[in-house]
Chains A and B, each alone.
Chain A
Amino acid sequence: MHLTIDGRRVEARDGATVLEAARGAGIRIPTLCHDPKLKPWGGCRLCIVEVQGMRGFPASCVTKAAEGMVVRTSTEAVTRLRRSVFEMILADHPLDCLTCRANQRCELQAVAATIGVTGQRLRPSERQPVRDDSNPFFLRDLRLCIMCARCVRACQELRCVGAIDVASRGYESRIAVFGDLPIGESSCESCGECVDVCPTGALWAKTETVLPTREVRTTCPYCGCGCGLVLGTEGGRIVSVVGDITNPSSHGSLCVKGRFGLDFVGSPDRLRKPLVRKQKGGKLEEAEWDEALDLVASRLRGIREAHGPDAIAGLSSAKTTNEENYLFQKMMRGAVGTNNVDHCARLCHASTVAGLAKSFGSGAMTNSMDELADADCIFVIGSNTTEAHPIVALRIKDAVHRGAKLVVADPRRIDLVRLSALHLRQRSGTDVALVNAMMHVIIAEGLANRTFVDAHTEGFAELADSVKAATPELAAGITGVPADDIRAAARLYAGAARASIVYSMGITQHTTGTDNVLTLANLSMLAGQIGRPSTGVNPLRGQNNVQGACDVGALPNVFPGYQPVADEAARRKFEAAWGVKLPAAPGLTVVEVLHAAEEGKIKALYILGENVALSDPNSTRARRALENAEFLVVQDIFMSETAEYADVVLPASCFAEKDGTFTNTERRVQRVRKALDPPGEAREDWRIICEISGRMGLAMPYTHPSEVMDELARLTPAYGGISFARIEDRGLQWPCRTPEDPGTGYLHQDGAFTRGAGKFHPTPFREPAELPDAEYPYLLTTGRLLEQFHTGTMTRRTAGLEKLAGPAPFEINPDDAARDGIADGDMVALTTRRGTVTARAEVTERSPKGTLFMPFHFKEAAANVLTNDALDPVAKIPEFKVCAVRLGPHGPGSG
C-alpha cells in the first residue's frame, strides 16, 4: 500500500495507521499517549494531521492508512493546533526538569523540544498532587502525570489486572486506584508494566537513580517463561531492569520478580571465597581455590576406590546454564563413572517427561506460548498460572479478550478463575477421575475426533473401554465437581476449533503424577486437539532452565537428548565423543539419592545450586541424609540451608555473571550474557566443573561456553542446529536439527507423533497416598506465591518482595476457620505425620473447605517439613500436593 505523506511517496503494510506509516518512513509526528505495545487510543491529540478529503484534524495514531491517501503532518494549522494542545497538557506540569528523576528520559521533554513551547499560560487542573509511596518498588508522583493513560491501558490491556483507571472528569480527572486508595491497597501485582510505559517521571522505579553506562540483553533467572531482560549496569551493579521488547517469548513484559527482584545479585551475603570444613563437626573455614578443589577431587577419588563410583551422586541445577548442566553430567558419568545424576526436574515435571514420552514420544510443551493467545478454548488444570508463570498467563488473558473460553480446574479459586467460563473445583488428587469423565462424555456424545484417532493413534479401544464406566455422576462423587460442569467442560474442550491444555505442578506432583499426565495426553488425542497451532498439551516448566537441564542429560537414565544410558549404541556414541568408558546402569533419582544417603549407601554428594534441605519432601529426612553423607560438596551463590551441612562450599556465579544459554518452557534456547563479574573470588560454575573434572581424570579444556554448546549440539540431535551465533538476536525452539532449521513452534505436526502413532494409556483412578482421617482431618496442598520463588534464596533477599508477600502464610477456608476458632492473622501450628511448623492463618475463600494451602518458600515455616515423600512409581516424583494435616494450638499473630 502506498500513500503520500508530506509530499513523499511512502509504503506501508496493510492495516497500518497513518502514524505507523509516517514513522516507517522516518517522518516524526509527536505523540504522548501512543505506545507500540498498546492499542491505539487517540487521547493526547498531539499526533493530529491533515488528510486530503477528510474533515478536521484526525489523530494519526487511530487513523488507518489507505491506498492513495494524501497526508500532511506539519501544516501551519496543524502546528498551531498542536501547540495549543500541548500547552493544555503542560498547563500544570512542573518545569523543574533538571532536578526531575526523569530528566533526559522524559518524552514530555522531548515533545516540548520539537514543538517549541516555552511557558505556561493556561489554567492548571484541580488534581491533588498525590505522591503515593505505598508500593515498595515504584513511586507514583501524580504531579508529573499528563493523563496519557498509558499506565491504565497497560494495566488493563496487557496485564488484565485493572488496578488503576481514569477517575472523575474534566479538570478533576486523575489516574486513581479504587476509592483513591494508595496503590499498595489495590489489586496491583507490581509487575512494573506501567512504569515501563510512563512517558514522564510520574511512575518511577525507586531503584533507578542513575543512568546505566552499559546495557546487556539476557534471560530472566526465575521461572520457565524465559523473559528477555535488559540489565543496565553502572559501577559493578545492576541499576535498571527493563523488559526486552524484542524477546519472542515475553515481548517486553516482566513480572515483579524479574523486574524488581534481582537484589540477590549484589547481596552482601553472596559467597566470595571457598569454604572447607577441616574435620567433621568443625566449622567451615575460608580456603584457597586450589586447596578446596584438590580436596574435593581427592575425597571423591577416595570414596570411589573404597565403595565404587555408585557411592557418589551429583545433583545438578536447573538454575544454571545448559552448558553447565551438560558439563556436570559429563563429569559425573565420564570422570566419576556413575549415572547418579539428577536435578530438581524430578520434583516438578518428572511425570511429564515420563508420561508425554510414553504417549507422544517427547516430554515437553507441545506448542508455543504465543499460540495460546489464538486458542478458542484453554483448559488450565493444576496451574496457578498468574502467580507461577505470569507471562504465560498474559497469553491466556489475551485469548479470553479475544473471546476464548477458559476452563479452570483447580481446588483453589486462583486468579484465572475470574476470567473463566467454568471453574471445576476438584478435590486435590482426583484429576484422573475428572478427566476420565470428560472423555466419557466426549465419547458418549460423539464429540471424539475419530478421523484423528483412527489415523494417528493406537490403543483407542482400550481407552474407550476404560472410561465406559467413568460417568460424570460417578466422577462427581469422587471429585466434588457437579456432573453437569464436567459435561460442559468436555463440550467446550472437544467442541472448540483449537483447544489447548495448560498444566503444571498441580498435575505432576502426585503419586499418580504420570497417570495424570497420561490422561491429559489421552484427552488431547481423543479430541484431536494436538499437532496443530494453538492446541496441544502444555506443561509449564518451573525453573528458568529446567527444560534445558533435562534436554542436556542431567537425568540418571539418559544422556543429552534423552538418549538412554542403557542403550548400547548411545553409550558407544558418547564413549567415543568423550574418550572414556561409561556406566550402563541407570542411576538414582533425587529422592532415591537422599534415601540412599540416609541409609549410608551414598557416601558422597556433589550438589550444584540446589537447596534440598528445603525443597525436598519430608525435609527432616532430607536433612538427615545430608548429615549422614560422608562427604558433601555444595556449589552455590549463597550459604543455603543445604550448604550448612557441606564439607566444601564452592562460591559460584549467578545468571548475570556468566555466558551461556537457558531453554525456556516453550523449548526456546536463549542467550544468557555476562553483565557483571562474580563477587570476590567466586567463579563461573562451568569453570569450577572443568577444574574438578580435570582433577578426576577427564580433562575439560574449554575456554568459553560456546565451545560447550558446539559439542552438545554435535551429540544432541534436537539441538543439532543451535549455536551461539544463531541465537545471538533471537532464541530458537528445539527440535532444531541443522544449521538451516528455523526451529519448531509446535510438535507432532498434523498427528506425526515423535513416537510414530500417539498411544492411549488407560488410567484408572487411584487415591493419593495419604488422605485426611480422624486424626489428621485436613488435606494440605502446597504451591507458590507470585512474589516469592522456590526456597526463597533469591527472592527473599529483595526487601520489597518480602514486604509484598508478607510472613509465611497458610490459607484456610472461612468455614473451617470459624469451626476451629481461628482468626485471620493467627499463628497456628500445622502437624503431619512427619513434622510440625507454625504459620500465619490467612482466612480466605480461595481455599476450599477441608483443604489448606501453604507456599513452600519460607524456611521458618517450611512446608516440606510437612509434605509426604511417597513417590510416583514410574517418575519417582513425590506427592507435594496432597497430605493429611491437623491444626494444633494457635494464638494471635504478632502482626
Chain B
Amino acid sequence: MKKRGGERRKPDERLVAIFARHRGVRSELIPLLQEVQGELGYLSPDSMREVARFLRMPESVIFGVATFYAQFYLTKQGRHKIKVCQGTACHVRGGAAILQAITRKLGIEAGQTAEDGEFSLERVACVGSCALAPVVVTDDKVHGAMTPAKTERLVDSLRKPGSHPK
C-alpha cells in the first residue's frame, strides 16, 4: 500500500529552533543542512524530511544534495572525529601506514564509526597543512609529523575522561 503523506510528526525542538532563524526558501538548503548537522552531529533521515517539509522541496532532492557533498554525514558520528590525510605530501611521508595503524587499533575502516560511539574515522585528501605532513586531524585539531605509534598514543589520550570537545 502506498504511504499517503501528511502523517503527524513531532518535529525535533532543536530543528524548530533552527528553522526559526530561516525563511523557508530554497536557497537556504545548504546552510540549513550545515546547521542541522552542527546540532545533531549528522543528518538523520527524519531531520532531512523536516528540512524538506520546511523548504517545501521533494525529500529526494534533499537526499541528493546531502549525498553530493562530502561535508554531510548521513550516519551518526563518533564523539571524536579522526581524519587521516592521504594527500600527496602526507602520502609520500607515510600517511598510508598511519591509516593502517589506526584502522587496526580502532577495528573500523575509514568512513565508519566505532561501535562504542567514541570515534569516527575518515580519510581525507589534504587538509592544507602539507608542511606538517603527515598529519592527523582529531576533531578540529591538526597534529603534524605523525607516526603510527604517535597516532595510537593520540587516540588513547582522547579516550581519557574530560577530553570531549565542548
* Chain B stretch 86-134: residues in CB contact (< 8 A) with chain A: none
The answer to whether B7 touches A167 (Cβ under 8 A) is: no
Counting from the closest, the 8 A-B pairs by CB-CB distance are A162-B58, A806-B1, A165-B64, A178-B59, A165-B60, A846-B6, A167-B67, A168-B67
Expressed in whole angstroms, the Cα–Cα distance for A21 and B5 within the complex equals: 44
Expressed in whole angstroms, the Cα–Cα distance for A110 and B26 within the complex equals: 39
- Determine which of A167, A185, A415 lies in contact with B3 in the assembled complex, contact meaning CB atoms within 8 Å: A185
Query: Please, what's the 1-or-0 string for B28-64, where 1 marks a CB less than 8 Å from any CB in chain A?
Result: 0000000000000000010011000000111111111
Expressed in whole angstroms, the Cα–Cα distance for A177 and B49 within the complex equals: 12
CB of A176 closer than 8 Å to a CB of B? yes
User: With A167-B64, A167-B67, A418-B56 in contact, is A804–B7 under 8 Å at CB?
Assistant: no
Expressed in whole angstroms, the Cα–Cα distance for A256 and B58 within the complex equals: 20
The answer to whether B61 touches A162 (Cβ under 8 A) is: yes
- Determine which of A164, A169, A804, A806 lies in contact with B60 in the assembled complex, contact meaning CB atoms within 8 Å: A164
Query: Please, what's the 1-or-0 string for B1-22, where 1 marks a CB less than 8 Å from any CB in chain A?
Result: 1111111100000000000000
- Determine which of A167, A804, A814, A843 lies in contact with B63 in the assembled complex, contact meaning CB atoms within 8 Å: A167
Residues of B within 8 A of A806 (CB): 1-2
A786 to chain B, nearest CB (A): 9
User: With A167-B67, A176-B64 in contact, is A184–B58 under 8 Å at CB?
Assistant: no
Residues of A within 8 A of B49 (CB): 178
The chain A residue with its CB closest to the CB of B68 is: A169
CB of A845 closer than 8 Å to a CB of B? yes
Expressed in whole angstroms, the Cα–Cα distance for A418 and B60 within the complex equals: 15
A817 to chain B, nearest CB (A): 9
Residues of B within 8 A of A163 (CB): 58, 60
Residues of B within 8 A of A177 (CB): 60, 63
- Determine which of A165, A190, A804, A824 lies in contact with B58 in the assembled complex, contact meaning CB atoms within 8 Å: A165
B38 to chain A, nearest CB (A): 21
Q: How many residues of A contact B (CB 8 A)?
A: 37
The chain B residue with its CB closest to the CB of A815 is: B8
Expressed in whole angstroms, the Cα–Cα distance for A179 and B74 within the complex equals: 9
Expressed in whole angstroms, the Cα–Cα distance for A824 and B6 within the complex equals: 13
User: With A156-B58, A844-B8, A845-B8 in contact, is A165–B63 under 8 Å at CB?
Assistant: yes
User: With A177-B60, A844-B6 in contact, is A168–B1 under 8 Å at CB?
Assistant: no
The answer to whether B4 touches A842 (Cβ under 8 A) is: yes
CB of A805 closer than 8 Å to a CB of B? yes
Number of A-B residue pairs, CB cutoff 8 Å, is 80
User: With A162-B57, A165-B58, A845-B6 in contact, is A804–B64 under 8 Å at CB?
Assistant: no
Q: How many residues of B contact A (CB 8 A)?
A: 22
The answer to whether A845 touches B7 (Cβ under 8 A) is: yes
- Determine which of A165, A186, A843 lies in contact with B8 in the assembled complex, contact meaning CB atoms within 8 Å: A843
The chain B residue with its CB closest to the CB of A804 is: B2
B55 to chain A, nearest CB (A): 11
* Chain A stretch 160-191: residues in CB contact (< 8 A) with chain B: 161-169, 176-179, 184-188, 190
The chain B residue with its CB closest to the CB of A163 is: B60
User: With A161-B58, A163-B60, A165-B58 in contact, is A413–B2 under 8 Å at CB?
Assistant: no
Expressed in whole angstroms, the Cα–Cα distance for A179 and B56 within the complex equals: 18
Expressed in whole angstroms, the Cα–Cα distance for A846 and B4 within the complex equals: 9
The answer to whether A162 touches B60 (Cβ under 8 A) is: yes
The answer to whether A803 touches B1 (Cβ under 8 A) is: yes
Residues of A within 8 A of B7 (CB): 824, 843-845
Residues of B within 8 A of A803 (CB): 1
The answer to whether A178 touches B56 (Cβ under 8 A) is: no
A to B CB contacts below 8 Å, 27 in the list: A156-B61, A161-B58, A162-B57, A162-B60, A164-B60, A165-B61, A165-B64, A167-B63, A167-B64, A169-B68, A176-B63, A176-B64, A178-B62, A184-B2, A185-B3, A186-B59, A187-B5, A413-B6, A419-B56, A804-B2, A805-B1, A806-B1, A842-B4, A844-B4, A844-B8, A845-B6, A846-B6
Expressed in whole angstroms, the Cα–Cα distance for A156 and B60 within the complex equals: 10
* Chain A stretch 837-879: residues in CB contact (< 8 A) with chain B: 842-846
Expressed in whole angstroms, the Cα–Cα distance for A184 and B2 within the complex equals: 7
The chain A residue with its CB closest to the CB of B62 is: A178
The answer to whether B4 touches A178 (Cβ under 8 A) is: no
A784 to chain B, nearest CB (A): 13
A811 to chain B, nearest CB (A): 9
The answer to whether B58 touches A814 (Cβ under 8 A) is: no
The answer to whether A166 touches B6 (Cβ under 8 A) is: no
Residues of B within 8 A of A179 (CB): 45, 48, 63
CB of A787 closer than 8 Å to a CB of B? yes
Residues of B within 8 A of A418 (CB): 56
Expressed in whole angstroms, the Cα–Cα distance for A844 and B7 within the complex equals: 5
* Chain A stretch 187-229: residues in CB contact (< 8 A) with chain B: 187-188, 190
